[in-house]
Structure 1
Amino acid sequence: MHDYPLEQRTIGRILAEKANRIPDRTFLRFQGTDYTYAQLERLTNRYANGYTARSIGFGDHVAVMLPNCPEFFWTVWGLGKIGAVAVPLNTAAKGEMLRYFIDHSDASVLIVDDEWADRINAIADNIPKVKQIFYRGDKPVDACGLDNCAVPIHKLEDLPVADESAPPVDKVKHDDVHLIMYTSGTTGPSKGVLCPHSQGHAVGRALAIDYGYTQDDVLYTCLPLFHGNAIWYTCYAALWADAAIALSPRFSASRFWDEIRSSEATQFNTLGAMTNIIWKLPPGPQDRDHKLRLCMTVPVPKEIYGEMQERYGITLTSVYAMTENFAMTRFRPDDPAEKAGSAGRPGSDCALRIVDDEQNDLPAGEVGEIWMRALESGSMMLGYYKMPAETDKEFVDGWFRTGDRGYLDADGYLFFVDRKKEAIRRRGENISAYEVELILSRHPSILEVAAVPVSSELSEDDVMVYVVLKPGETLSHAEVVHFAVEHMSYFMVPRFVEFIEELPKTASSKLEKYKLKKDAELRRAELWDREKAGISVSR
């Protein structure tokens, strides 16, 4: 692995160095086409200079709503080369959530794929800070579905210049903001995490070292590039190992193993239910017909740890990480099997504490909140965008409060237990209960809403809402779901809906969600279930 000092950890410097040292090595493999490191350098330069010609410069915020495709790299890393700040948007966002991301981030430019142009068009009157839009798709601009947008619209393919010379690398520093990545809120709106250039490189460096990635590896991902797992834990890890990325548009159980074989992947990552879905595929003689050697599962599945490794001939690894920081712990290939189920141990880049509600340290084996401190510069966020109070709240004397609960065993291995904060985890996505409640409360017939997690058959959670109607109003379970479909990301849409006369509260009017969670689990089979009702929710 070629190492870089902290001051060199900007996307412009590292891509230039690789194009000079390993120009002909494959960087990206996508739908039958390979791109080399030299092409990566030239194309990101072309996009960087093209955006500059459209008056995008250092410090400008650019919202990016693109699928898994090569243009995602050319755009996000091209913007990074000129010091512009990319805001990768969750492509499931729509309605109020989408408006919030664009408006709160102060994006003056929007880059959107044809697939989601209608969502932008629907909120065009409510995103006044956007001054120009780039459109990716085959349709001409006047037919691309953005007719409500009263700003200049450009075809992404028609960037005004084809200059492939490198922008000045000294213009951007390692601690300049590269990305604003939105993470689920808990008791408030989603927070924009200010990620410096060096943060993703800290992740890539640690994984390349601890997992032994080399130039001969092909790291496969079908997870969305707007998500930290794909962009940092696959793409930056490959970048640091001088390795290749095999990119798939999205996860498909039926295509998964064919893509693994055709791309000659040697490593892939899974999140949550994806692990169980792969495990439950029918076994067959082709299970070991691949070049895989490693799989990072989050979390590592203790129950099938040995069986999965034996069936597929792979070694399982894992991490404990957040958008705000990096891989705080790493379950490494040589860690003992009896530690399966843990997230591994911290390396030399991180210190951990487990504390009680009074902020006292707890001994090994006792469950408390996980606190962390970065021991290497440049590996943490710079704060939450336009949320100084929330940023300050998360730090205590230099320790970052994760809001998660867990314990350290006697050997220093971290075992995650649950979330202290009000977040629901579904299919690899953190869902803010607050935001589900806020959106549904806008329905004219709804007085109050409480969202809680219910255990899913596929591991992790499903979303349930308890709904209190305004006096004299009526609403069906299906109508609640249809309203949710219109106004929130597909993965946030409640599966279970229950009407209730009043929500349980303390004498001081604090909602007692633990009572609702207990009720939901006890009566799960009796609850109204949109899946049983035949209501499907598409992306």
Structure 2
Amino acid sequence: MHDLPLEERTIGRVLADKAARVGDRPFLHFDGRTWTYADVHAVTNSYAEGFRRTGIGRGDHVALMLDNRPELIWAMWGLGKLGAVAVPLNTAAKGDILVYLLDQSDSVLLCAEDAYRERVDRSRVPAIREILGPESLAAFADLPADDPPEMREVTHSDPHLIMYTSGTTGPSKGVVSPHSQGHAVGRQMASLSGYGPDDVLYTCLPVFHGNALWYTVYAALWADASVAMARSFSARRFWDEIRETGATVFNALGAMSNIIWQQPESPRDREHKVRTAMMVPNSVDLTERYARRYGIGTTSVFAMTENCAVTVFGPDDPPEKAGSAGRVRDYMSVQIVDDDRRPVAPGEVGEICIRPNERGMIMLGYYEMAEATVAATTDLWFHTGDRGWVDADGFLYFADRKKEAIRRRGENISAYEVETVLCNHPAVVEAAAVPVPSELGEDEVMAYVVAAPGAEVDHAELIAYCVENMAYYMVPRYLDVIDELPKTPSAKIEKYKLMMSARERLDDLWDREKAGITVRRG
């Protein structure tokens, strides 16, 4: 990997370096067309000129509500070359949420798909001066492609993106990311995951999200590799797209790895060039299954929009550690603390707190939310709100979200662990575990499950599977099979909705105790 000092880690300087060194190499493959590194530098220069002609300058905020398409990347990077700030929005946003995102971000221009423009009530967001569609953006490519003079004035610590969190416990927060943050991720992934110039990193995840943007696009950028971008995830098309693009790497989030796995076995299961897939979350079982069926190794990370790759489970790490999110590295300090913010011993569960040992790796703060920024960074540590533990070998394991822990009969239960077991059942594609009131005080475990395509969930059989695969006190008492889980625009499960629904319908839910199923110790 060709390294650059921190001061050079702006999108303009990095692209200029790539164009000069590896300009003829392919960078982006999309819909049968390929752009080289030199093409990318030139077209993003043209986009910078286009935005300048619309009145955008240094410090202006521009919202982007675009599907996966090259124009989304060109717009983000063209704005970055001007010193303007891109605000990539989830394309599912609408109504009051969309108004909030546009207003809270202080965006003055919106670039949106034609299908999404009608969602915007201009009277409620008067700061938006103009809405540009994909055709207007595409026309930018015909403008002069000289380096914009502003490009050399932009620094690594200047804001580049405002990326919104899911807002599961309150209003979505705008994470202000400096130029150097995405490059920190790309640099980490290229080096620790072993990506190189001959790799093709495939993504069908939305590029407005940090995973596809930083862990695929920026990772490829730093590896001098190329990106194969699909419009969206389709289980039916997935392996065909992998084969057609010659992909060597892909990332899978949440239920995606399970959905891929549940596709019918085929003689072509190993007919591809993929050597590694980044799975979040990962497990030893998942790693073994993918290796056995597809001949693919797995990697993983612990990361948030607010930071970088806190830990990385790389291709050379011990297979028995695949259930972890990777080893704590020299560039990051990790501390596990109890509810009183006191460090706990190795192996004990507590909140995961981080502190970077290098500059430019995490957010600048939450946009216009100083109190939330301060609250997240007490005691000189960033408090992630996630719980986990670090083992004696320095590998970090995720337990659950701090506010999603379930306490039953004196035992703390990880909703994440319950969900992982449920999703390993062949009839289940997604699951969400939530606490509901117990007659004895504390909580009972309630689980929502989504059936795999063509499968039927037998409640009693699923409970028997849980008994075989989890501690007795974790086995759900209540089950509900639903068509889909409610999610935020950034695809995080809205558990508070599930909890409210369960509590309102508790007497009508399938109850293993009413069904006469007893779960015993041992």
Change over 3 Å in CA distance of 1:410–1:491 after alignment to 2: closer
Cα–Cα, structure 1 residues 453 and 129, in superposed 2: closer, same or farther, change >3 Å? farther
Q: Which residue of the partner structure matches residue 118 of structure 2? A: 118
| 1:397 CA displacement | 2.6
- 1:34 & 1:307 partners in 2: Cα distance? 34
The alpha-carbon deviation at position 523 of structure 1 amounts to 6.4
Which amino acid in 1 is paired with 2:280? V
What corresponds to 2:217 in structure 1?
235
Report the alpha carbon displacement of residue 161 of structure 1 after superposing the two structures with TM. 6.6
Deviation at 1:157, TM superposition (A): 3.3
Structure 1 Cα separation of the partners of residues 37 and 494 of structure 2: 43
Q: Does 1:314 align with 2:307?
A: no
Task: State the Cα distance separating 1:415 from its structure 2 match.
Answer: 1.1
The residue that corresponds to 1:15 in the other structure is 15
Give SS of 1:285's match. coil
Distance 1:497 1:185 in 2: 13
| TM-aligned CA deviation for residue 301 of structure 1 | 2.9
| Residue equivalent to 1:200 | 182
* 1:71 corresponds to 2:52: no
**Residues 344, 30 of structure 1: CA spacing in aligned structure 2 closer, same or farther, 3 A cutoff?**
same
Greater mean deviation of Cα atoms: 241-250 or 182-191: 182-191
Aligned to 1:156: 137
Distance 2:506 2:183 in 1: 42
Moved more, 298-307 or 42-51: 298-307
Give CA deviations for 1:440-466 in whole Å, capped at 9, x if unaligned: xxxxxxxxxxxx99543479xxxxxxx
Confirm or deny: 8 A CA contact 2:284 2:319 kept in the other structure.
Answer: no
Which amino acid in 2 is paired with 1:54?
T
1:214-363 superposed matches below 5 A? 214-363=196-345
Choose 260-269 or 15-24, whichever is displaced more: 15-24
Alignment RMSD, CA only?
A: 3.1
Following the alignment from structure 2 to structure 1, what is the Cα–Cα distance between the partners of residues 92 and 3?
36
Deviation of 1:310 after TM superposition, in Å, equals: 1.8
Q: 1:177 corresponds to which residue?
A: 159
SS of the residue 1:258 aligns to: helix
Query: Conserved in 2, the CA contact under 8 Å of 1:187 and 1:422?
Result: no
Mapping of residues 349-388 of structure 1, within 5 Å: 349-388=331-370
Letter in 2 for 1:167: P
1-side partners of 2:84 and 2:323: how far apart? Answer: 40
* 1:394-413 equivalences in 2 (<5 Å): 394-413=376-395
The answer for unaligned runs of 5 or more in structure 2 is: 406-414, 424-428, 435-444, 453-482, 512-522
CA contact (8 A) 2:178 2:360 kept: yes
Distance change in 2, residues 1:494/1:17 (3 Å): closer
TM-score of the aligned structures, taking structure 2 as reference length? 0.80
Q: Where does residue 24 of structure 1 map in the other structure?
A: 24
Q: Contact 2:61 / 2:87 at 8 angstroms: preserved in 1?
A: yes
| 8 Å contact from structure 1 (residues 53, 160) kept in 2 | no
Partner in structure 1 of residue 96 of structure 2: 96
Q: Residue by residue, what CA displacement relative to the aligned partner does 1:211-263 show, whole Å, maximum 9, x if unpaired?
A: 11000000000000000000000000000000000000000000000000000
Whether contact under 8 Å (1:260, 1:290) holds in the other structure is yes
The answer (yes or no) to whether the contact 1:95–1:488 under 8 Å persists in 2 is no
The aligned counterpart of 1:61 is 61
Would you say the 8 A contact 2:108–2:129 is kept in 1?
A: yes
Q: Structure 1's 453 and 8: CA in aligned 2 closer, same or farther, altered over 3 A?
A: farther
Identity of aligned residues (%): 52
Structure-2 residue corresponding to 1:531: none
Deviations 1:285-316 (A, max 9, x none): 10110111110000113333212112111110
- SS of 2:202's equivalent in the other structure is strand
For residue 320 of structure 1, give the secondary structure of its aligned residue in structure 2.
strand
Q: Which residue of 2 aligns with 1:48?
A: 48
Cα distance in 1 between the residues matched to 2:492 and 2:274: 33
Q: In structure 1, the residue corresponding to 2:50 is in which secondary structure? A: helix
Q: d(CA) in 2 for partners of 1:390 and 1:79?
A: 27
> Residue 54 of structure 1: CA displacement?
1.4
**1:378 maps to amino acid:** G
Whole-Å separation in 2 of the counterparts to 1:59 and 1:70: 23
Superposition TM-score, scaled by structure 1 size: 0.78
Q: How many corresponding residue pairs?
A: 449
CA spacing shift, 1:19–1:184, aligned 2, 3 Å = same
